[in-house]
Amino acid sequence: MEKEYFSVLLKKWHFVLIIALLIRIIAILLTRGAAHPDEIFQNLEPAWQMVSNFENKMVAWEWIEGVRSYFTPLIIAGIFKLGLLLNLKSTSLVLFTRIIFQIFPAIMMVSIYKFIEKLYGEKSALLAMSFYAFWAPFIYYDIRTLTDAPSAAFIMLGACLIFFNYYFLGGIAIGISFLFRFQSAIYALTILLFLFVEKLRKIPFIMGFLIILVIQGVLDLIFYGSFFSSPIKYLYFNVISGQSSKFGVLPFYAYIIFIFFFTGIIFTFLIMRAMWRAGIKDRGVKFFLITNLPFLIIFSAIGHKEIRFLLPFYSFFIAIGIGLIKFRNLKKFFILFIVLSFILSLFFDWNSSGEMCDAFEWIGKQKDLTGIACLCSPWATGGYVYLNKDVPSTFIDFTKESFENISKFIDELDEKYNYLVVHKRAFEIKGLKEKIEEKFYLSKIFVSYHPFIFHDAVYVYKKFGFDDMLKPASI
């Protein structure tokens, strides 16, 4: 009789879910900052504008151009309202939002379990769910307020519902994923293709999806004054005009390399071998090839690439692949899996931009704050959601400007800008430190650490001429 390793985890899927969510909540409480500026300025910051009614704002170009849905900011604004009732502010409010957002990985994990159980049985479903639950890259993106993980969760939910013959609800779920990220429309088309190939019901799925499209249209009408304008503008910007390339271009094959990094070289080969052996006749493999390969090809053809854009693909790849693999020794598998997950976690900067967000929160608590100037791009900061003070802000990007321009910026600062934020890399510009200290004195330094980077630091300066100018620096 086979030994029962990890009997609790491998008998009840809800135990896996509870442990996975606890790990994610602990990770949330231990991390600061944002994995990407989009996390703040596409979601948190517009939501903060809705609930704070601040005169001063940081509005990203996406909202000016009207290429994003207000669906996610509206959800976060509701969470913010609840958090404010609990007297939460700045970092605490953001962490609270991230904790509430764990409903989305919960939806993903339950959907994976039910989906793979339907295809390959309970044991395979538990293994597939456990892989998602404890694999570091998934944890890294699940604890953020980016839209990629919620969108991927509803795509997986939609696939699961379709396999249980709930076609209308499946269309609704894919539609909700579209509200989070417009590129989910690709999955609506490829899943529809799968329904044609399998000769399954298509009209209920289409109706469910169309209902959500109408909701998006109404949102655009309310916020932009034009029905369904943001998905059209998004398509034009990213695909037709190719303007997304100005944010960076990677070669066509980059996502293939990302798969090996995200999934792990060992598991990638194991999954590919399992799918090859199962063949196209296997329903899970057929579903994967019809619905996910077009997504991979289309995204590979777009110049601007980020590893998180393929979260839905990684989820299906791992879920179906692990579901197909027959592990002979579960103990060795889990030991190898946990070790590799830990090693992979070291390559992620869990506290990315944490020092900047901490600096903004601290400055916002200073009673004498009248304005904040930053030697950086606004999108490298914590935004007003962290500052939590309705004061003016001004910026100059030290990575793009000459010493002469930065010096002029400092000289011409209005008197109301009494706090200055400087990233440590700015001091690589010869003479800049001395120039700053003509008008400002060092007040505080914020530091974050990374296994492969000794430290990243943000320096907060205060203008001479205030009551506490003779106080020693707090470093």
Binning pLDDT at 50, 70 and 90, where does residue 410 land? very high
Average pLDDT over residues 299-306: 91
What is the tens place of the pLDDT at every residue in 75-92? 999 999 999 999 999 999
| pLDDT for position 469 | 44
pLDDT at 4 over 80: no
Average pLDDT over residues 306-335: 91
Average pLDDT over residues 343-353: 86
Computed over its alpha carbons, how large is the radius of gyration of the chain?
24
| pLDDT for position 33 | 86
Q: Tell me if 410 sits within 8 A of 422, measured CB to CB.
A: no
Distance of CA 290 to the CA centre of its chain: 26
Binning pLDDT at 50, 70 and 90, where does residue 348 land? confident
Q: Which domains does the chain have, with CATH numbers?
A: 13-30+101-345 (no CATH), 354-463 (3.40.190)
pLDDT at 3 over 80: no
Pairing mode of beta strands 372-375, 419-423:
parallel
Distance of CA 24 to the CA centre of its chain: 14
Instruction: Return the closest-CA partner of residue 319 out of 357, 288, 349.
Output: 288
Q: Retrieve residue 419's tokens.
A: 């706090």
What is the tens place of the pLDDT at every residue in 215-259? 999 999 999 999 999 999 999 988 888 787 777 888 999 999 999
- 3-class state of residue 372 by DSSP: strand
Q: Tell me if 202 sits within 8 A of 193, measured CB to CB.
A: no
By the 10 Å C-beta count (0-12 exposed, 13-18 middle, 19+ buried), 2 is classed as: exposed
| pLDDT for position 472 | 46
Write out the E strands in 50-150. none
pLDDT at 307 over 50: yes
pLDDT at 329 over 90: no
Instruction: Quickly tell me which residue has 């994923």 as its tokens.
Output: 177
Mean predicted lDDT score pLDDT of the chain = 91
- 3-class state of residue 81 by DSSP: helix
- 3-class state of residue 325 by DSSP: coil
Q: Tell me if 375 sits within 8 A of 406, measured CB to CB.
A: yes
How many Cβ atoms from other residues are within 10 Å of residue 244's Cβ?
A: 17
pLDDT at 473 over 60: no
Average pLDDT over residues 266-270: 93
What is the tens place of the pLDDT at every residue in 130-145? 999 999 999 999 999 9
- 3-class state of residue 57 by DSSP: coil
CA atoms of 177 and 154, how far apart (whole Å) = 5
CA atoms of 424 and 299, how far apart (whole Å) = 36
What is the tens place of the pLDDT at every residue in 444-465? 999 887 666 557 899 999 999 7
| pLDDT for position 470 | 41
CA atoms of 34 and 82, how far apart (whole Å) = 22
Q: Retrieve residue 284's tokens.
A: 């899970």
Average pLDDT over residues 58-69: 93
Average pLDDT over residues 20-29: 96
Those residues whose C-beta lies under 8 Å from the C-beta of residue 324, and which sit 6 or more positions away, are 120, 124, 271, 274, 275, 277, 278, 282, 284, 285
What is the tens place of the pLDDT at every residue in 176-187? 999 999 999 999
